[in-house]
Amino acid sequence: MNTFLSGLVWRFEKLRSLINGSDPLITKETARTATQEYNYSNEKIKKALNFEFRKIEQSIKDTCRFFLWDKKSG
């Protein structure tokens, strides 16, 4: 959601909550948090533990394979 839309949504929610007397579902703070981008790096832990992560595609394949094996045997 872009910042313009999230700004409209939290303002609408504020108005709705004032009319209904309820808590807003989305606040200015939650709207701002939803539009922020967070980036993390795993380089530090990889170096500290001498560890290499698996690619997400391989993890998904392994999980699906295990799920299907579990369904057949259970």
Residues 74 and 66: their CA atoms lie apart, in Å, by 12
State the angle between helix axes of 3-20 and 28-35 in degrees (0 to 180), rounded to the nearest 10: 160
Q: Which two tokens stand for residue 62?
A: 């392994």
Q: Which of 33, 34, 51 is nearest to 42 (CA)?
A: 51
Residues 43 and 38: their CA atoms lie apart, in Å, by 16
**Mean pLDDT across the stretch 36-43?**
94
Give the residue extent of every domain in the chain.
3-73
pLDDT tens for residues 43-73? 999 999 999 999 999 999 999 999 999 988 8
